[in-house]
Chains A and B, each alone.
Chain A
Amino acid sequence: MTSSPDHLPTMARSSLSDRLAPYGPILILVLLVVFGFLAIPSMSSWLTLTVSGLAMGMMIFIMASGLTLVFGLMDVINFGHGAFVSVGAFVGVSFLLLLQHMTGAPSLLLNLTALLVAIIGAMLATGIMGWAFERVIVKPVYGAHLKQILVTMGGLIVVEQLIIVLWGPEEIYITRPEALKGAITFAGAALEKYRLVAVGIGLVIFLLMRWILRHTKIGLIVRAGVENGEMVEALGYRLRLVFVGVFMAGSALAGLGGVLWGLYQEVITAHMGNEVMILIFIVVIIGGLGSVEGCFIGALLVGLLQNYVAFLEPKVALISNIGLMVAILMWRPMGMIPVVKAK
């Protein structure tokens, strides 16, 4: 009577490149930071640029993370994702303007409370809006990519116009809460306080998402669903419901990103979401469609590269991210952390 092999297989020594492959994306990130360090003459400028690159990357990650999961789960291409960024910014900024007595007070606690209220308000608004957007705009075009692109772009235009109706056509200028203005000096470098806060929030969001995806059942369902949705349903999970939840969460995160981005630029417009979409798409594509980790590293790469290049060679800044995307896709055509897809 034979049984299955119960021996422990000895692993053949894999080549160095094979063993390094999973760390490739992180290695690139480290290399980029080192490159910046070598290329930028002064240590303090490098530090300043690195922090602002990380801050920008974190904000892009927050805005992009939902989009990558939405694509991974249901193969839905949402060109209207930027709408949530804009709406989030307008709702959040409206709260901040309402709470001016708190944002203007020289108290970190009051400032942060106001910011938190603005963020929660923006996320609630965009989360609910995500639910409506999914039902009305995305659901009727499941499985049809061309229609998705057209319809979601249409949705974006409608939302932009609604913003103009509600808040007027003018851009709105906003100042950061009192305690987040200015910079701290560290090792001779001026580090804007707000950027440090953005880095912190981004990191928390990333770690939280990672934890949910790895350690909760809903996270398992999402990861499994990205790979093989049919099998997830055959096990007994309603993938559609999970998808709606992910869509709403992704929209709410885009809204959060909008608030942060608005405060970063210190001005908001109805088109700001659409303008940042190009960066978001680059990040989602180079990260690997459906991969949150890839999205995170991709966003940091984009943020850092943009800041380094803008300092070193301002003329090239605009195309540097496109160049990055081309280079990464030549290396890994499915993105840095390619997601296995059934069939």
Chain B
Amino acid sequence: MADPILTLSGVKTNIAQYHILQGVDLDVPRGQVTMLLGRNGVGKTTTLRSVIGLWRAHEGTILFDGEDITRRPTPAIARMGIGFVPEDMGIFSDLTVEENMTLAAVSGPVDSARLDWLFSVFPPLKTFWKGYAGTLSGGQKQMLCIARAMIEERKLYLIDEPTKGLAPAIISTMARALRELKAQGASILLVEQNFAVARALGDGAAVMDDGRIIWAGAMRELATDKDLQERLMGLSLEAS
């Protein structure tokens, strides 16, 4: 693969007076799933939000698809082809499932073939198509949120903890969706605490601590090296 789809170099982001990101260097290669791992509160969400411009990096540069997006406004960054799934899902609960999806198709009407594919991956979306998103269960909301990012083909997907708080059955639905997305050759930067999912999906991995990337390499390497896991994340991850 040639140049990465996304490159962060020395990104520093402050939230209020706190220095949250303290120089993040990260490459997301094209056509691969890159896992962003690390303990709670180390800055994973802040990293994704800095890329999409919801927090502003005050130092460093963010290159997306060869262009410097560090100072661009959020809508312009999104329109370059980034699908964003925030940690809190960002569902519009006063809108129906249909309206949520219509809105997410920024460049035109919803593509019906793609919608059928999403229905096959997330059947509840079809069932509750005309229902208000606010009435969906937590897992269904998460499905809607991911489907919303996937309704159009994007160059890069930023996905923040898609399996947070979900039952195992739904986690496997999510994993399947992400696998299918990956099979289409999408580039994904994925924050995921469920290590089984991370291991199954990830090509590459980057581990954060204290607002920095402290390790980056192949997922395979991290998945099999318990000492490395222990050292990076202070725990050994179930590698059953």
Contacts and interface: CB of A to CB of B under 8 A. Distances in A.
Contact of B90 (A4, A220, A231, A236): A231
Nearest to A343: B88
Given A4-B122, A4-B143, A342 B78 contact: no
Interface residues of B, number: 35
B74 A234 contact: yes
Given A4-B143, A220-B103, A230 B54 contact: yes
Contacts of A231: 86, 90, 92
A239 B54 CA distance: 13
Interface in B96-133: 99-100, 102-104, 106, 122-124, 127
B94 interface: yes
A233 B78 contact: yes
B84 interface: yes
B88 A217 contact: no
A75 interface: no
B73 A340 contact: no
Given A235-B104, A237-B106, A223 B94 contact: yes
B81 to A, nearest CB: 9
A4 B141 CA distance: 13
Interface string A225-254: 011101111111111000000000000000
B103 A230 contact: no
Contact of B169 (A5, A228, A342): A5
A12 interface: no
Nearest to A231: B90
A4 B168 contact: no
B134 interface: yes
Interface string B57-92: 000000000000000011100110000101010101
B236 interface: no
Contact of A234 (B52, B94, B139): B52
Contact of B95 (A4, A224, A239, A342): A224
B173 interface: yes
Interface in B133-175: 134, 139, 143, 148, 168-170, 172-173
B169 A3 contact: yes
Contacts of A227: 92-95
Given A227-B92, A234-B90, A3 B73 contact: no
A221 B172 CA distance: 32
Contacts of B73: 233, 238
A144 to B, nearest CB: 15
Contact of A340 (B88, B124, B134, B172): B134
Interface of B: 52, 54, 73-75, 78-79, 84, 86, 88, 90, 92-95, 99-100, 102-104, 106, 122-124, 127, 134, 139, 143, 148, 168-170, 172-173, 176
Query: Nearest 4 pairs between A and B by C-beta?
Result: A231-B90, A236-B78, A2-B169, A236-B106
Given A1-B172, A233-B54, 14 more contacts: A3-B169, A4-B122, A6-B123, A6-B124, A224-B94, A227-B93, A228-B90, A228-B92, A233-B73, A233-B75, A235-B84, A235-B106, A236-B79, A342-B90
30 contacts: A3-B123, A3-B169, A3-B173, A3-B176, A4-B124, A4-B139, A4-B143, A4-B169, A5-B169, A6-B123, A217-B102, A223-B94, A224-B92, A224-B100, A224-B103, A227-B92, A227-B93, A230-B90, A232-B103, A233-B74, A234-B74, A234-B90, A235-B103, A235-B104, A236-B75, A236-B78, A237-B106, A340-B93, A340-B134, A343-B88
